């Protein structure tokens, strides 16, 4: 199976129409999701011991582990299911495992995937609210979100706010998950490009003690990739990307509201 290259190469009839470059950029959206969580560790750096050392090591190590694991998993999927089977599969991990180890193993892996999904949800739900908390402390979001719960020491209101917004997004996009994911990816790419711009501007001032500064070349490459992904998504999937653009419109509105209230 693994020696049959015809099973791992997409037939020309399956290659979508349109410019190859723009489709390449649009195809980077899943990759953005795969590695987009690498920087989540920075959100809770204030609660980590020796963050200047442990956070960069954790991010670099996590990227390497995920990269190797994803490559090996995709080789296994293509070898077991083939390109056509992988494209048509709704649960490739379970189906590939079932082919290799039997029906019971496939069902067991499906349960493991559900548990893993719960784990990443826990990480996201507890990590992102610290961004909202920091924004509120800086006067960029509603002041009430900048308070920590006395019992847990966590930004409870920020957690609740994110949960509410996430629930609304799931309800609205339940019938079209592709719209939801593409919109989020577009917004995420735009956000990351904005972060790179902030890094460029920050280089004009001396770094504060304990602050890590990304290399200029890495920041530039990150910026170009983020902008490219956003453009590719907008060109090939304009309707889905519009939902992501709506997020920015709402964010600018909240920022303007907060600025006007000062």
Q: How confident is the model at residue 53 (pLDDT cuts 50, 70, 90)?
A: confident
Other Cβ atoms within 10 Å of 96 Cβ, number: 22
pTM tops 0.85 = no
Mean pLDDT computed over 223-245: 79
Token pair belonging to 30: 């899943």
- Residue whose pair of structure tokens reads 């799931």 in the numeric block: 170
Shortest CA distance to 243 belongs to which of 160, 172, 174, 167? 172
Least confident of 6-15, 62-71, 182-191: 6-15
The mean of the pLDDT values for the chain is: 75
- Res. 1: pLDDT tops 50: no
pLDDT value of position 211: 64
pLDDT value of position 3: 38
Confirm if 82 and 9 have CB atoms less than 8 A apart: no
d(CA 114, CA 116): 5
Least confident of 91-105, 122-136, 176-190: 176-190
pLDDT tens digit sequence for 145-170:
888 887 877 788 888 888 887 787 77
Q: How confident is the model at residue 25 (pLDDT cuts 50, 70, 90)?
A: low
pLDDT value of position 18: 52
pLDDT value of position 74: 85
Among 17-31, 90-104, 111-125, the range with the most confident prediction by mean pLDDT is: 90-104
pLDDT value of position 23: 66
């Amino acid at each position: 199976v693994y020696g049959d290259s015809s099973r791992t190469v997409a037939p020309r009839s399956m290659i979508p129409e349109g410019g190859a470059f723009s489709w390449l950029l649009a195809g980077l959206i899943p990759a953005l999701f795969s590695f987009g969580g690498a920087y989540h560790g920075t959100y809770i750096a204030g609660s980590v011991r020796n963050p200047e050392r442990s956070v960069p090591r954790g991010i670099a190590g996590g990227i390497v582990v995920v990269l190797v694991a994803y490559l090996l998993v995709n080789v296994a999927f293509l070898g077991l299911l083939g390109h056509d089977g992988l494209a048509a599969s709704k649960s490739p991990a379970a189906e590939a495992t079932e082919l290799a180890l039997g029906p019971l193993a496939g069902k067991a892996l499906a349960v493991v995937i559900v548990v893993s999904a719960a784990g990443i949800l826990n990480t996201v739900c507890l990590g992102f609210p610290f961004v909202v908390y920091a924004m509120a402390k800086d006067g960029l979001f509603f002041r009430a979100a900048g308070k920590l719960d006395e019992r847990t020491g966590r930004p409870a209101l920020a957690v609740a706010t994110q949960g509410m917004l996430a629930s609304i997004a799931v309800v609205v996009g339940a019938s079209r998950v592709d719209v939801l994911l593409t919109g989020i990816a577009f917004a995420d790419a735009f956000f990351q490009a904005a972060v790179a711009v902030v890094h460029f501007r920050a280089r004009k001032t001396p770094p504060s003690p304990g602050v890590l500064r990304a290399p200029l070349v890495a920041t530039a490459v990150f910026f170009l990739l983020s902008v490219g992904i956003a453009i590719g998504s907008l060109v090939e999937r304009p309707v889905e990307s519009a939902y992501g653009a709506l997020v920015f419109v709402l964010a600018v509105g909240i920022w303007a509201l907060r600025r006007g209230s000062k």
